[in-house]
Amino acid sequence: MTTLLIVLAVIVVLGLGAGFAVRSRRSVIEPPSTRRAPFVDSEPEPDAAMVARDEEVRAEIEAELLERAAAPAPTPAPAPDVAVDAVSDSVVVERPRLRDRLGKARAALSGAMGSLAGRSRLDDEAWDGLEEALILADVGVASTQELLESLRGRVRSEGIDDGDALVEALKGELRARLSGFDRDLRLTDDGPTVWLFVGVNGVGKTTTIGKLAAQQTAEGRRVLLAAGDTFRAAAAEQLGMWADRSGAEIVRGAEGSDPSAVIHDAVAAAGARGVDVVLADTAGRLHTKVNLMEELGKVRRVADRGDGTVTEVLLVIDATTGQNGLVQAHQFSEAVDVTGVVLTKLDGSAKGGIVIAIHDQLGIPVKVVGVGEGIGDLMPFDADEYVDALFA
């Protein structure tokens, strides 16, 4: 009996010991995420290389901050010209001056003009420098030769013998060549006025239409936009955004539909709604085998039927393309009766002489010029202001 009790006691003691050992093992393999890191009263000794690197980085940052502090403050962008209405105290944005926007075109002529100023006589070097400057400004070879021939005649007949007088004669010659054109955008009182816009893709037709729509709406006219460029992706959506911004109406067709049908429907809608002006966008490139110029001729004929009267066919040219724009003007003027040119991006071009080439070679007046991104930066072309801006 005693022996049995001893055996049972040994078993109990062994069982308790095993349980304690298991609990101890579990505590040892407990995941690190559930155990708190032991408290360390002191930090480990830093590595000497790390300390040196920290000091180097800190020195570089301090040097950069000192350099920034010593640098001059950036020049703020010029504010737009504004005037304050004395009655309403409202701010009115004024039309920009061409002189402020034609810096690149003026720079193309400044070298030659500077070398002519102060010359006591006109030698071959002076004439060669003037010829080179006119060609670089994209007046064109043909127009440059005609211009120089006319200037030589004035020099002989008027006895001009110095550089300053020659520059003034050049200004007078340019004004004479740019005068005598009707630059007004014509309107009719008999039914809707229709203005067609033609030109290759990318020159700014749609933006030009939107800005003119806003200007016409501001003058109290009811305007409708015709999305006749049905072959360029998102062209109708872009024109629709301009319609919303300018308060104009819009007529559009399905993508790839007949542009002439869209223009016809737009003119008919304008007549029914009492719209004053229809501004019609047209394709600059077709995805079909139909010739673009033939299609534009068809659009022109359709737009003149019914209630509408086409008073303007405006060719939009990107001024930065220079003589390529003159080639485009030749092609479009053969297809449709172009009445005027809209010259966009004139502020960003050193090729401002293209204005003279267009008038000389085509006899088509530049009626509107774009000199910036704002609505007020699309403005009527003024020949005298243009000439002064080139030489001021």
CB 137: neighbour CB atoms within 10 A?
27
- 300 is written with which tokens? 């022109």
CATH assignment of the domain containing 229: 3.40.50.300
Residue-level pLDDT, tens digit, the chain, 392 residues: 555 555 455 454 445 454 444 444 443 334 444 444 443 344 444 456 555 555 665 565 555 545 544 544 443 334 333 333 333 333 334 567 777 788 888 887 777 777 777 777 888 888 888 898 888 888 889 999 999 999 999 999 988 888 888 889 999 999 999 999 999 999 998 889 999 999 988 899 999 999 999 999 999 999 999 999 988 878 889 999 999 999 999 999 888 888 999 999 999 999 999 999 999 999 887 555 568 888 888 999 999 888 899 999 999 999 888 888 888 888 888 888 999 999 999 888 777 888 999 999 889 999 999 998 888 889 999 999 999 888 87
Domain shared by 197 and 334, yes or no: yes
Whether 69 is in a domain gets the answer: no
Domain shared by 121 and 159, yes or no: yes
Residue 288 lies in domain: 193-338
Whether 146 is in a domain gets the answer: yes
Whether 74 is in a domain gets the answer: no
Is 335 within 8 Å of 293 (Cβ atoms)?
yes
Whether 392 is in a domain gets the answer: no
Domain shared by 332 and 275, yes or no: yes
Is 358 within 8 Å of 341 (Cβ atoms)?
yes
Domain shared by 163 and 293, yes or no: no
Domain shared by 221 and 288, yes or no: yes
Q: Work out the angle at residue 344's Cα, subtended by the Cα atoms of residues 249 and 96, and round it to the nearest 5 degrees.
A: 90
Residue that is written with structure tokens 């630059």 in the block: 183
Domain shared by 220 and 165, yes or no: no
CATH assignment of the domain containing 155: 1.20.120.140
Q: Which of 304, 320, 338 is at the close of a domain?
A: 338
Spatial separation of the C-alpha atoms in residues 238 and 362, rounded to whole Å: 31
DSSP string, 279-341: EEE--SS-SSSS-HHHHHHHHHHHHTSTT-EEEEEEEEEEGGGTHHHHHHHHHHHHHS---EE
For the entire predicted model, the pTM comes to 0.73
Domain shared by 236 and 316, yes or no: yes
Q: How many domains does the chain have?
A: 2
Whether 61 is in a domain gets the answer: no
Which has the closest alpha carbon to 134: 117, 146, 121, 120? 146
Domain shared by 331 and 198, yes or no: yes
Domain shared by 332 and 264, yes or no: yes
Domain shared by 318 and 230, yes or no: yes
Domain shared by 290 and 197, yes or no: yes
> What integer pLDDT is reported at residue 12 of this predicted model?
46
- 303 is written with which tokens? 């737009």
Which has the closest alpha carbon to 198: 78, 100, 299, 277? 299
Q: Which of 134, 154, 178 is at the close of a domain?
A: 178
Q: Which of 318, 338, 358 is at the close of a domain?
A: 338
- 123 is written with which tokens? 């030698």
Whether 206 is in a domain gets the answer: yes
Would strands 366-370 and 309-318 be described as parallel, antiparallel, or unpaired?
unpaired
Whether 238 is in a domain gets the answer: yes
Whether 361 is in a domain gets the answer: no
What is the b/e burial string over 7-28, where b = at least 16 CB atoms within 10 angstroms of the residue's CB?
Answer: eeeeeeeeeeeeeeeeeeeeee
